[in-house]
Structure 1
Amino acid sequence: MTAPDTENLSAPARIPRQPAWRTQAPVVAVVALGGAIGATARYAFALWWPTPQGGFPWATLWTNVVGCAVIGVFMVVITDVWAAHRLVRPFFGTGVLGGFTTFSTYAVDIQHLADNGHPRTALAYLAGTLIAALAAVWLAAAATRRVLKWRQP
C-alpha cells in the first residue's frame, strides 16, 4: 500500500473577496442619509419646543424617550415580523433614530443645569431620562409583541 499522493490534492478554491469599502459603502451611505433625516427632525422639534435659559430641557427628554420607544417597536417588527433588507436596520435604527435621539445634548443639558445652580434637577434629569428611555424601549417592545400575538389567528 502506498501513501496518497499529496501533490494532487488541491486546496478548496478561494472565492475572491470584495474590498471592504465596496461592501461597507452602502451601509455608511444609508446611515449618513438616515442620520441627516433624524437630526433634522430633532432640530425641528427643538425649534418647536425650545428650552428657555435655565429651564428644564423637556424637548430633549421627550426626543430621547420617543426615539427609544420607536426603536423598541422597530426592533420587534424587523426581527419577529418582517425579513427586512440588509440596509433597513442601519438606515432606520442607526441612522434615523440615532440622529433623532440625542444623548450628547442630554449630557450637555445636565452640565448646564449643574453649572447654573440646579444640581438636584441635573441629577433628577440624569436618572429620569435613563429610566424613562429604558422603560420606553421595554414597554414599546412588549406592547408590540402583545399586539402582534393578539392579531395572529
Structure 2
Amino acid sequence: MRPSPLLVLVVTVGGALGTTGRYAVTHLIGTTHLIPWATLLVNVVGAFLLGLLLERLSRAGPETPARQVVRLGLGTGVLGGFTTYSALALELHDLLAAAEVAAAVAYGVGSVCAGLVACAGGIALGARGDRP
C-alpha cells in the first residue's frame, strides 16, 4: 500500500522543521571536547516529547485520519528530524577513535538511559491528563 501524498508531505515538512530545530540547538550550545551536549539534549528532549505525544494520542481513542496526520507530522516528522541517533553513533565513533573510551561508554550508556527515563516521564505526564 502506498502512503498518501499528503502524509508524505506532512512527514517531510515536519522533518525539515525538526532538523532546523536541532541545527539551532546545536549552534546555540556549541561543541565541547568530550561530551556532545547538544546531541544529548535534543535526543533526551525528543524522547520525552515522543513519549508524551504517543501517550496522549493513544488515550484519545482509535486512530483517525486527523490523529494519523498529527502522529506522523509531529512524531515521525518533527521529532524524527529533531532527534539524531546517527550523530550519537558518529560521536561515539569519534570518542573511541580518540581513545576516550570512558567518555564514550558514559556518553553512550548515559544517552540511552536518559532517553528511556525521559520517554517514561513523557508517558507518565501524558497519562496524568486523564486523571480527575
Distance in 2, Cα, partners of 1:37 & 1:148: 27
After superposition, give the CA deviation of every residue in 1:4-57 in whole Å (9 maximum; x if it has no partner): xxxxxxxxxxxxxxx83xx521111111100000000000000001113x3310
Distance in 1, Cα, partners of 2:37 & 2:111: 10
Aligned position for 1:116: 98
Amino acid at match of 1:75: L
Q: Is the CA contact 2:19–2:81 (under 8 Å) kept in the aligned structure 1?
A: yes
SS in 1 for 2:34: coil
CA apart distance, 1:144: 2.3
Q: Give the gaps of 5 or more residues in structure 2.
A: none
After superposition, give the CA deviation of every residue in 1:42-77 in whole Å (9 maximum; x if it has no partner): 00000001113x331011001100000001110111
Q: Give the gaps of 5 or more residues in structure 1.
A: 1-18
Aligned position for 1:28: 8
- Number of residue pairs matched by the alignment: 129
Amino acid at match of 1:136: A
Bigger RCO of structures 1 and 2 (CA < 8 A, at least 6 apart):
2
Distance in 2, Cα, partners of 1:30 & 1:89: 10
* Mapped pair 1:59 → 2:38: yes
Amino acid at match of 1:71: L
Identical-residue share of aligned pairs (%)? 35
Residues 73-92 of structure 1: matches in 2 within 5 Å? 73-81=52-60, 85=66, 86-92=68-74
Distance in 1, Cα, partners of 2:34 & 2:113: 21
* Mapped pair 1:44 → 2:35: no
Aligned position for 1:138: 120
Distance in 2, Cα, partners of 1:25 & 1:102: 25
Distance in 2, Cα, partners of 1:105 & 1:89: 24
Amino acid at match of 1:67: G
Q: Is the CA contact 2:34–2:103 (under 8 Å) kept in the aligned structure 1?
A: no
CA apart distance, 1:81: 3.0
SS in 1 for 2:31: coil
| Structure with more of its chain in helix, by fraction | 2
Where does structure 1 differ by over 6 angstroms across 4 or more consecutive aligned residues?
none
Amino acid at match of 2:57: I
TM-score of the superposed pair, with normalisation by structure 2: 0.90
Distance in 2, Cα, partners of 1:25 & 1:134: 33
* Mapped pair 1:104 → 2:86: yes
